[in-house]
């Protein structure tokens, strides 16, 4: 008679760490406890690209690195969030809570997994201060040196996959927040401007929000305001 095939013993996949298990639990919690809807739109990032080039042109030996696109957009989003309290509300077991400060989380890809350290009081920091703080947080995240405090308390999250070539995607809400903004790849594309076809830098934006708490109209208006701030960043970044 044919031998009965041996049944392989189940084992845990290699690389499943405690942090990976925590991330998995939080992602599942977000998917099952929210009513997520994602809005996609593009905006003209040509002025933002030019602004960053101006920062780059000021670079000298020993000077800090110029702000990244993420640094600039974090500041712009914080400015816009000040006018959209429903988007920056935390939904706690006791009910809705509006944090007094604009503390924004920024997703960081690390060897340990996806982490989202929180930038405190973004509205009170300059772009250069934000850039230095985010760079420090990202370095500590990749080195596994973040504290629980570094990862808690944010009222909104920004995640950027543009550097990896991604255009549109569907980010997952970072509970207890009610919305998250995804940034795609900035690409030069032909666009009709004042009756002429011109090459402009286009940035895809993806906003996921909890429809239990925020309706489509306010979410769309917020995303439109973010797009306008990116298209004309100078006035928003002035003290």
Catalytic machinery residues: 211, 215
CA atoms within 13 A on the CB side of 183: 25
Give yes or no for a contact between 118 and 105, defined as CB atoms under 8 angstroms apart.
yes
- Which is it for the CA torsion 78, 81, 82, 85, positive or negative? negative
Tokens of 215: 């309706």
- Which is it for the CA torsion 59, 64, 125, 104, positive or negative? positive
Q: How far apart are CA 140 and CA 121, in angstroms?
A: 19
Helix 127-142 with 69-81: angle, nearest 10 deg:
120
DSSP E strand stretches across the chain: 36-44, 90-92, 95-97, 104-106, 108-110, 113-115, 118-119, 156-160, 179-183, 187-193, 196-210
Phi, psi values for residue 87, rounded to 5°: -80, -25
- Which is it for the CA torsion 129, 105, 238, 124, positive or negative? negative
Cβ neighbour number for residue 97 with a 10 Å cutoff:
12
């Amino acid at each position: 008679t044919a031998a009965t095939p041996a049944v392989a013993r189940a084992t845990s996949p290699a690389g499943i760490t405690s942090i990976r298990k925590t991330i998995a639990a939080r992602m599942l919690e977000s998917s099952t406890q929210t009513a997520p809807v994602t809005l996609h739109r593009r905006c003209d990032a040509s002025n933002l690209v030019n602004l960053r080039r101006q920062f780059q042109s000021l670079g000298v030996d020993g000077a800090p690195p110029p702000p990244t696109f993420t640094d600039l957009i974090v500041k712009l989003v914080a400015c816009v969030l000040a006018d959209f309290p429903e988007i920056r509300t935390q939904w706690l077991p006791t009910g809705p809570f509006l944090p007094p400060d604009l503390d924004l989380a920024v997703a960081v890809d690390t060897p340990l997994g996806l982490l989202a350290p929180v930038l405190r009081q973004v509205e009170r920091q300059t772009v250069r201060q934000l850039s230095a703080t985010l760079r420090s947080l990202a370095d500590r995240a990749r080195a596994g040196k973040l504290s629980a405090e570094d990862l808690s308390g944010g009222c909104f999250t920004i995640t950027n996959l543009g550097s990896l070539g991604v255009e549109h995607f569907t980010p997952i809400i970072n509970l207890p927040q009610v919305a998250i903004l995804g940034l795609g790849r900035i690409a030069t594309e032909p666009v009709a401007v004042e009756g002429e076809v011109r090459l402009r830098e286009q940035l895809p934006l993806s906003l996921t929000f909890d429809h239990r708490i925020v309706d489509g109209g306010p979410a769309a208006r917020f995303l439109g305001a973010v797009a306008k701030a990116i298209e004309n960043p100078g006035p928003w970044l002035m003290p």
